[in-house]
């Protein structure tokens, strides 16, 4: 087997090769680590490698297969962890000079579960901006993470490195976090699959101070791999009081158990307010036709709640980070100017104003759930634009602002607040050869439904064999 292809093998393929003694976990760990070191100068997706962790885990998994013991769900499978997640004994910088050099003494629950399932941690992936505040793949402490389809272009954020790692064959499984689109945006820009599960499906610790908007989830090249990774991470955990009581389902075995025939699906091209570039709209409309061809009943909609979102977003996104203003006197010179401008903007907010806006947001969320009662799924663009230069917050042909990147990402944050499961799935390319993602939103708790709809689309429009130029 071509050694470079090892990093592109999925979980089921690796397990089959392990059982047949045609590959070993140690061989796979070494091959993936070698590939990362060769491709990294092109893309800058990794904050640091953890070869000792990977090889130690690989040797343990190899013994399982040699002794014909029962393998765990992810036995001998390469994984990467976003640099916003605590990893015991492994430096975690949280993408900010303020926290640079931190060595956690405990793993976050999603990390401990991936490792307990047999995952081999290859390393920590880059995140964008202080604590992942922006949607552009650049940070003061790590520089630009390059889109694998075009050097210097935005790879999406804040799970920047995770999306690029998935596209570049750094193994099959990449952990991401999503507080306003930070799994779905990298999936869109890098041409991979990203799932933001129902809030609480995967425990999040430390619990984010943003009214439960942050979700943990997978970035992968196939829907099956995302299903397996979600299954490994899901389930209640005492450290996250918002985690769901339900144990994880066997998502992967049920992916093809449901047909799209007769499913009632809403499609919104703009949520009634969002600006979208024509090349994105064209690709999305072609993707919607695929669901029609599968027998789904498509209704184009303009949801009444859609236009209420932007004002709320421009209030709550700055408010989420406003507590960091105490760090400015000491660290401002090493911080992202956009981040500094944003938290200074939020410093004028008052407690009564916050509570009034919070009540409006709860009403907005109620409308989203009432709307979704009438449909099995909602389809929309994942992002309004194709990849643009990563040293800018907005494309050159869009309005410019010192911190507001949300203007081209209006489709994601509503479902962070509402907690609905939502995925971005590759659905085509622009004329310039840049990936486009289709967002599939499900009713709350219907993670399996979103995975099944994604699997149906994947079967109709497969993409996992595509290789970006910077990964060659």
Active site residues: 82, 158, 182
What angle in degrees, to the nearest 10, is found between the helix axes of 25-43 and 51-66? 150
Q: β-strands 377-381, 173-178: how paired? A: unpaired
Rounded distance between C-alpha atoms, residue 29 and residue 22, angstroms: 14
Contact indicator for 248, 235 with CB cutoff of 8 Å: yes
Rounded Cα gap, residues 285 and 51, in angstroms: 44
Tokens of 326: 């105490």
Cβ proximity of 394 and 154 under 8 Å: no
Backbone angles phi, psi at 457, to 5 degrees: -65, -40
Contact 121, 50 (CB under 8 A): yes
- For residue 281, whether the previous peptide bond is cis, meaning omega lies within 30 degrees of 0, is no
CA–CA dist 410, 198 (Å, integer): 19
Name the H helices within 44-143. 51-66, 109-116
Any residues with CB less than 8 A from the CB of 20 and at least 6 apart, and which?
none
3-state secondary structure 180-203: CCCCHHHHHHHCCEEEECCCCCCC
Instruction: For residue 465, give every residue at least 6 positions away whose Cβ sits within 8 Å of its Cβ, in sequence order, or none.
Output: none
Q: Which helix (H) or strand (E) holds 215?
A: strand 215-220
């Amino acid at each position: 087997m071509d050694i470079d292809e090892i990093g592109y093998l999925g979980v089921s393929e690796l397990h089959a090769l392990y059982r047949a003694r045609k590959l070993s976990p140690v061989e796979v760990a070494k091959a993936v680590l070698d590939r990362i070191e060769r491709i990294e100068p092109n893309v800058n997706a990794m904050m640091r490698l953890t070869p000792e962790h990977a090889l130690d885990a690989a040797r343990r998994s190899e013994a399982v297969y040699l002794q014909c013991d029962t393998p765990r769900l992810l036995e001998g499978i390469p994984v990467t962890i976003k640099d916003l997640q605590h990893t015991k004994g492994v430096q975690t910088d949280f993408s900010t000079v303020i926290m640079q050099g931190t060595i956690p003494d405990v793993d976050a629950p999603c990390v401990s579960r991936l490792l307990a399932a047999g995952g081999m941690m290859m390393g920590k992936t880059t995140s964008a901006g202080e604590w992942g505040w922006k949607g552009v793949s650049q940070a003061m402490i790590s520089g630009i993470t390059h889109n694998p389809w075009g050097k210097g272009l935005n790879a999406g954020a804040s799970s920047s490195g995770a999306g690029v790692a998935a596209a570049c064959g750094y193994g099959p499984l990449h952990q991401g976090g999503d507080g306003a689109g930070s799994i779905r945006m990298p999936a869109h820009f890098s041409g991979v699959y990203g799932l933001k599960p129902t809030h609480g499906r995967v425990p999040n610790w430390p619990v984010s101070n943003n009214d439960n908007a942050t979700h943990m989830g997978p970035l992968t090249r196939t829907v099956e791999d995302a299903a397996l990774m979600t299954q490994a991470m899901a389930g209640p955990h005492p450290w996250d009081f918002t985690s769901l009581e339900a144990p994880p389902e066997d998502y992967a075995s049920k992916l093809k158990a449901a047909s799209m025939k007769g499913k009632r699906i809403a499609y919104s091209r703009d949520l009634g307010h969002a600006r979208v570039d024509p090349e994105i709209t064209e690709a999305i409309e072609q993707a919607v036709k695929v669901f029609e061809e599968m027998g789904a009943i498509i209704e184009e909609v303009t949801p009444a709640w859609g236009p209420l979102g932007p004002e709320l977003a421009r209030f709550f996104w700055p408010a989420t980070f406003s507590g960091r203003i105490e760090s400015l006197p000491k660290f401002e010179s090493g911080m992202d100017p956009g981040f500094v401008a944003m938290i200074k903007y939020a410093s004028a907010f008052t407690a009564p104003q916050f509570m009034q806006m919070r009540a409006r947001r709860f009403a907005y969320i109620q409308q989203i759930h009432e709307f979704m009662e009438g449909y099995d799924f909602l389809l929309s663009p994942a992002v309004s634009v194709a990849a643009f230069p990563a040293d800018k917050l907005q494309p050159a042909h869009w309005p410019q602002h010192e911190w507001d990147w949300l203007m081209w990402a209006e489709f994601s944050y509503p479902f962070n607040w509402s907690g609905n499961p939502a995925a971005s799935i590759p659905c085509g390319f622009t004329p310039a050869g840049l990936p486009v993602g289709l967002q599939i939103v499900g009713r709350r708790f219907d993670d399996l439904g979103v995975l099944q709809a994604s699997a149906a689309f994947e079967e109709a429009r497969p993409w996992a064999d595509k290789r970006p130029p910077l990964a060659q």
